[in-house]
Chain A
């Protein structure tokens, strides 16, 4: 789609684009290029010289049991966060869309957690789950369940997942609600007249009609779980105990910032870039399809 009426000016458009292009080149493309360059180089211990090693850094990472563990943690973490953030959101959206009194008040009361920073959400959950002073942690220990997320890896992962999902439900709720409201009422009325009961109506009519929203949210939530939960992990567990809550992003951060292993960290960045590009392409192909409907 293009405009027919345009302005003629040789210099102005470049001036208007200059700030955006400068930032994009300096802080996006140059670092991305550097990541790719360093991912095929190996630096000596003093960082003075580096030699070309091809895919050695990648081979090294993909054979590193710690990296594979981080990958496993990331998969479990992302899948669970996505599920826990989407299912309750859909349920709440269905309830809020049922024509109930006070629906807009409920909506207001259900959207604000979106504004809470991931790291702050982590602090709130830490305070509840603390084994000796937290209200939930204490209750679990009193009930005979040995709860201490600081030494139990599975419990640490559970806590990080809960805090991450808690914050994301609002976002999904809003989109599911918008999706539900765009379903023509006549379709649902027709199903009612045909005698379809609410549960059946939901699974045979509403859920399929919501599938564009669901798919969109699936990608968004995976991206959220991959990248935006860094703050939750750093504030709650710092990747511990051991490496039980180290995700791929957290690993890049540790390797690059603490271990100063640039070759490995860059190769990891390149792997992550490939994942993001794949997710973005999936999302855009899907949007193109939606236009054709």
Chain B
């Protein structure tokens, strides 16, 4: 009987955890289905209201939320998607080729290059925000997609991860490929890339979330609202956060803003867990 009691307590504990995580999102979902005045009165019920379609279709195509208006959420979502994909693919692409160079070649300055990449671990963007901002402005990249994405795609962690994995590829495989007459490019495309599939998938999930959730960098680097991402857009909608804001629309935007990365985590859970745990190594 003691065992059954303990099981019950375990379930209860886990359920509390699940509820604490889910409740804020449930509330956002509910709020996005009512009208602004119901919420503004402080009378939000805990069950869905009738205005879901009205709210979501309004924010999706028209940009009239908040005091100064905004771009349509569809545009923001597009911007976030482009940024997240560009960051994820860009980071993976330049990291995998630089790890390949460091592992499969010997050349002067090899270790210097490796250590320079490694050192960027100690220079996160938050630490060097203002000088990096100045560099971007000086190069004429301010308020461009290029300036938004490129400074973020250098990655020490991804390079180290691929390097670690490449070191486990047996020498015999490389030897055999060389005997068959394969050059470095052929070997990379036919052998290394297919072998790296799971690592790439795992990294992609993590980096997509990283890219989608960027806040400080887009806040500094973009000015025109046409480039606004949804995470930036939603905080602009809040303004000073008074009760008269159109909270139904803000919450609908919040739901849309968190949906893509959450779906990626839930549908690619296996890769997500692998990607997270790999970064520790």
A186 within 8 A of B: no
Do A133 and B42 touch (CB < 8 A)? yes
Q: Which residues of B contact A13 (CB under 8 A)?
A: 101-102, 105, 107, 110
Tell me how many residues of A have a C-beta within 8 Å of chain B: 94
Across the interface, do B243 and A130 meet the contact criterion of CB distance under 8 Å? yes
A100 touches B10 (CB 8 A): yes
Specify which chain B residues have a CB less than 8 angstroms from the CB of A25 in the assembled complex.
116
Contacts of A112 in B (CB 8 A): 21, 262, 265-266
Rounded to whole angstroms, the CA-CA distance of A280 and B220 in the bound complex is 26
Does B107 lie within 8 Å of A10, measured CB to CB?
yes
Is the pair A123, B97 in contact by a Cβ cutoff of 8 Å? Answer: no
Contacts A7-B187, A20-B159, A277-B122 given; does A31 touch B131 at CB 8 Å = yes
Contact B243 A133 (CB under 8 A): yes
Number of interface residues of B (CB under 8 A): 99
B120 within 8 A of A: yes
B127-A23 in contact (CB<8A): no
Tell whether A117 pairs with B130 under 8 Å between CB atoms, given A17-B98, A123-B238, A123-B250: no
Q: A174-B276, A262-B130 are in contact. Are A124 and B243 (CB under 8 A)?
A: no
Name A residues whose Cβ lies closer than 8 Å to a Cβ of B: 1, 3-10, 12-14, 16-17, 19-21, 23-32, 34-35, 38, 88, 91-92, 95-96, 98, 100, 106, 108-128, 130, 132-133, 135, 138, 150, 166, 169-171, 174-175, 178, 216, 226-228, 230-231, 234-235, 249, 252-253, 256-257, 262, 265-266, 269, 272-273, 276-277, 280
Additional A-B contacts beyond A20-B94, A115-B261, A120-B234 (18; CB < 8 A): A3-B174, A13-B102, A17-B97, A17-B98, A21-B116, A23-B150, A23-B153, A27-B150, A28-B120, A119-B231, A120-B258, A127-B24, A127-B27, A174-B276, A235-B234, A235-B238, A252-B126, A266-B130
Query: What are 16 residue pairs bridging A and B, where the CB atoms are less than 8 Å apart in the complex?
Result: A1-B167, A5-B175, A17-B98, A19-B97, A21-B98, A32-B128, A91-B13, A92-B17, A100-B14, A113-B21, A115-B261, A120-B234, A122-B235, A150-B241, A166-B21, A231-B215
